[in-house]
Amino acid sequence: MNTEQAQARVLVLHCAESGKKALSRMAESGRKIAESIVPFELPCTGRINEVMLMETLQNGFDGVLVVGCHRDNCRYLDGNLRAERRIDRIRNLLSEAGVPDKAVEMVFISPDEGRKLYESIVGFTKKLKELKERVTS
């Protein structure tokens, strides 16, 4: 477990296909995430919406990492691309509202990319820590 992970409360929204399988691969390889990292499965990342993301941030999470299938590989055709557009809108809204210590990002992975998912989670939590430090200093 990484110290950066322990300092950020992150919701990891993942699809039931690539995201779920990559999380399993990550665990099988012995990579562990902090208890403050909360995975939550959706049928498809295309099911997320702006309200869900904003409420997550308002309810105490420091960030949301959305884990979807690679582009052109979504079981639901373009759910991952819809999610990406929604995330872009939320990031713009957060920036306009002057909320630099909250973050929403998306990563595209395949089922066998457990290591990439782990590295994405670690990198995201590190980014959140840096954002918090800038705001509090």
Kindly state whether residue 127 falls inside one of the protein's structural domains.
no
Q: Indicate whether 110 belongs to any domain.
A: yes
- Whether the predicted pLDDT of 134 surpasses 90: no
Range of the domain at 106: 3-115
Whether residue 25 is contained in a domain is answered as yes
Residue 132 lies in a domain: no
CA distances in angstroms from 108 to 2, 8, 19, 132, listed in the order given? 22, 21, 9, 25
Question: Is 128 inside any structural domain?
Answer: no
Residue 111 lies in a domain: yes
Domain contains 126: no
Which segment of 2-6, 36-40, 131-135 scores lowest on mean pLDDT? Answer: 2-6
Find the DSSP H helices in the chain. 3-6, 18-28, 50-58, 79-97, 114-136
Domain contains 135: no
Helix (H) or strand (E) holding 7: none
Residue predicted with more confidence, 134 or 22: 22
Residue 137's pLDDT is what? 62
Structure pTM?
A: 0.89
pLDDT tops 60 at residue 42: yes
Domains: count for the chain: 1
Helix, strand, or coil (residue 81): helix
Q: What is the CATH number of the domain that holds 33?
A: 3.40.50.960
Tens of pLDDT, residue by residue over 80-119, are: 999 999 999 998 888 888 776 568 999 999 999 999 999 9
Share of the chain above pLDDT 90, in %: 64
